[in-house]
Structure 1
Amino acid sequence: MKKSIIIFYALIFYALTQMFSWGSLVMRLQPQRVAMVVGEGSVFLFLLIIGAYFIRKSIIKEGKLKEQQQNFLLSVTHELKSPLAAIKISLQTLVKRDLNREMQTSLLNNSLKDIERLDTLVENMLLATKIDNRSYTFPKAEVDFSELVSRISDRLQLHSCNTQQIIKADIEPNIKIYGDAFTLASVVTNLIENAVKYSEPCAEVNVSLRQIDSKVVFVVADHGTGISDEEKMFIFDKFYRVGAENTRRTKGTGLGLFIVKEVLQQHDAEIVVKDNVPQGTIFEVTF
């Protein structure tokens, strides 16, 4: 990117130098054409400035996108290696040691959780690619949204906490909407997983689903670090992740909220990001 910027400024400098050089030469040789030279020079300078602005903006945008893609590849590599390493250790332990039934069950359950994590990651990557190239058709039918939210909340529940359950679900039964069950499940999964990810260990995450008049309102609230007002406008961009890359502690690929936004647009739904008082973030989806 630095090389592109240097070449860009060099070309701008060359163009301006040539313009003033030839303009000065013409005015010296043909003084009667001063007005024409000034007029045409002004138009050329205006167009050059406008063009330079947009070209520089494109170069910077391309550089940021390249950096985000590199960070995405690093994140995906880490996201893949961590559960694979955990599964490998669990299986090696099962093979090499004579464990009791309880220990075997515990290791297998941990491996299943890691496999689910891998499955979610792969599904997100495939879905983001299909959405991006407009190849996914969003086949819609009547969906029992209450059952879907309950099932995902229960699956993502962390039972390792000694305190109260981390996900507190308040779901009104028998709420049905017309939509694509697969992508709606991805929306619910990504929002709840994000809330858990950006919360302290064993902190409570609130999930609610309500029918209010003719609208269906789905809310996920956490008590984590929160999102600054400056970043709220970018969090739904592809590959974007909250916080500085060199100080970020949470895992992720930057695809989750991009998928959420794209899927909700296809369902004519609205998502609003609010601050949770005294701390945290609220995602409110209205169908």
Structure 2
Amino acid sequence: MKKLSFKLGIIFFITLFCIETFMMLFLHASLTNSRVEEELTSLQARGNSHRTILERNFDKETLAHVVLMESKENTDVVITDKTGKILAASHPHPEIQAYIKNSEDNVPYNGKVLQGNWQEENYISTISPIQKQQTTIGYVFMFQNTDSIHALMERLNRHFLIVGIISGVVTIAVIIVLSRKLAFPLVQMKEATLKMSKGDFTVALSTNGKDELSDLSNAIQLLSDDLHHLREERKEFLSSIAHELRTPLTFIKGYTDILYKRDLTERDRQKYLGIIIEETNRLSRLIKDLFDLAKMDENSFVIDKESLHLDKFLANIETKLSPAFQEKQIHFFVQCEEGLTLMADSARLEQIILNLLNNALTYCSSGDSTSIIVKRHSRFLQISIKDTGKGIPKKDLPYIFERFYRVEKSRTRALGGSGLGLAIVKELVHAHGGEVTVFSEENKGTTFELLFKE
């Protein structure tokens, strides 16, 4: 009783049964009334035909002729004078006398139905007045036994019963097929969600079709794939955090032990203290980056936008970083038109650009160049940070904005950071309502394009 297919089948069956029953009853009543109406119309027409003959010759010979005509039919005729006295009858029955006595005066010339209740009476009957010079001189009564109508109705009922049984069987078969067809993908989806609730995201649902069930199946499949990807990302994320935290802590612990247990020269002491401070700063930056990403994930990261004059803003950045680029003999320049403004958080925009410039500084060699170029495009403002350094392999480009992803798989400390810089750049750009894209070719350089709405 709890199965969805059974419930769907019951609902479909009750709905279709009600519709079919209503339609069959309506059709049965229409056919019955139509058939009885035809019989009454035919009976009235015969009576009017006899009336026309009798109006021409209302004598015994004509009366006998009319009676003789009806004696061979399944109808009866009774002819009376205007007082109700029977002048001629094809099959006089006592019941017919009762109908004649109950007839009304002032019958219209076209006649009328005297008795049409075929279900309860033995006869249906009509009456037609015989007139001469607009004076009624008699009546023609036509009678038809209702046994023939009952027999016709029994045959009609039998046919309807057969049709009803066949329709019911076909309906049940169709409902079983349809309910199973509808329920089967839902059962698959239920089993898939149960697997997902247990941590098994290796589900495979049929995504063919263009109906709502297919859309739901697609959504569950997409959710499963996303959860699987998130779980893998989480594993990689935790592994990366453990690695990034363990490395500086190992250095700090190791050199602290050396300082504590050994008698060192002042030179060695200062050297080891410098390493400890460097690793402490690295650890502090990593924790700060993780904290920033956590706030971004919780949507608690506040962006305070203000109108920035980009020429002055970028000139300050150029002043800060020029010595570092000069030290590595890398050409660094900024190209920005005067008067360009952007609604942005100055501290966060500076963080975005500094992260990208630090990457350029890391992966460029002596003689390379790095530039910041700002352009206006209709309703958008584009900031491009371009370098001619090592470039990024094509296979790595789709993943460089993921957390802890680094092109250098060896994680060499000489090549820098924790792998969170570009992830933070992406989140900060999106927080400003912008988009970031990257174009790169190995040994030719990399270009990051930031696109902001003005």
Settle same-fold status: TM greater than 0.5: yes
Match of 2:317 in 1: 148
Question: Which of 364, 370, 392 is equivalent to 1:226?
Answer: 392
For residue 173 of structure 2, give the secondary structure of its aligned residue in structure 1.
Answer: helix
Q: Distance in 1 between matches of 2:434 and 2:287?
A: 25
Count of residue pairs brought into register by the alignment: 250
Deviation at 1:135, TM superposition (A): 0.9
The equivalent residue for 1:114 is 279
Give yes or no for the alignment of 1:241 onto 2:405: yes
1:135 is aligned, of 294, 300, 325, to: 300
- Deviation of 1:38 after TM superposition, in Å, equals 2.9
Please tell me whether the aligned partners of residues 439 and 447 of structure 2 are also in contact (alpha carbons under 8 angstroms).
yes
Identity %: 21
- Other-structure match for 1:35: 174
CA distance in 1, matches of 2:319, 2:425: 18
TM-score (norm 2): 0.44
Q: What amino acid maps onto 2:172 in structure 1?
A: R
How is 1:33-112 mapped onto 2 (pairs within 5 angstroms)?
33-45=172-184, 49=206, 50=214, 51-90=216-255, 96-100=263-267, 107-112=272-277
**CA distance in 2: counterparts of 1:181 and 1:188, whole angstroms:** 11
Instruction: Report the Cα distance in structure 2 between the residues aligned to 1:120 and 1:194, rounded to whole angstroms.
Output: 16
User: Structure 1: how far apart are the matches of 2:342 and 2:171?
Assistant: 76
**Distance in 2, Cα, partners of 1:148 & 1:138:** 20
- SS of the residue corresponding to residue 186 of structure 1 reads helix
Residues 60, 277 of structure 1: CA spacing in aligned structure 2 closer, same or farther, 3 A cutoff?
Answer: closer
- Please tell me whether the aligned partners of residues 234 and 240 of structure 1 are also in contact (alpha carbons under 8 angstroms): no
User: What residue number does 1:12 align with?
Assistant: none
Given the two structures, how large is their TM-score scaled by the length of structure 1? Answer: 0.64
Determine if contact 2:303/2:345 at 8 Å carries over to the other structure. yes
Note the residue ranges of structure 2 that are not aligned, 5 or more in a row.
Answer: 14-167, 189-205, 207-213
1:117 is matched by which residue type in structure 2? R
CA distance in 1, matches of 2:316, 2:292: 22
Higher relative contact order (CA 8 A, sep 6+): 1
Which stretch shifts more, 277-286 or 121-130? 277-286
> Which of the pair is proportionally richer in strand?
2
Residue 188 (structure 1) aligned with residue 353 (structure 2): yes
| Cα gap change, 1:171 to 1:41, in 2 (>3 Å) | same
How far is 1:219 from its partner?
Answer: 0.5
Matched position secondary structure for 1:250: coil
The separation in 1 between residues aligned to 2:437 and 2:406, in whole angstroms, is 17
Q: Which amino acid aligns with 1:75?
A: S
Q: Which consecutive unaligned segments of at least 5 residues does structure 1 have?
A: 1-14
Does the C-alpha gap of structure 1 residues 66 and 123 become closer, same or farther in structure 2, counting only changes over 3 Å?
A: same
Task: Map Cα deviations across residues 59-99 of structure 1 (whole Å, 9 max, x no partner).
Answer: 33212212211211121122122223334455555664113
Task: Give 2:371's aligned amino acid.
Answer: S
**Following the alignment from structure 1 to structure 2, what is the Cα–Cα distance between the partners of residues 40 and 177?**
59
User: Contact conserved, 1:209 with 1:219, CA < 8 A, in 2?
Assistant: yes
* Compared CA separation, residues 185 and 46, structure 1 to 2 (3 A): same
Counterpart check, 1:170 vs 2:309? no
Matched, 1:260 2:425: yes
In structure 2, distance between residues paired with 1:59 and 1:90: 47
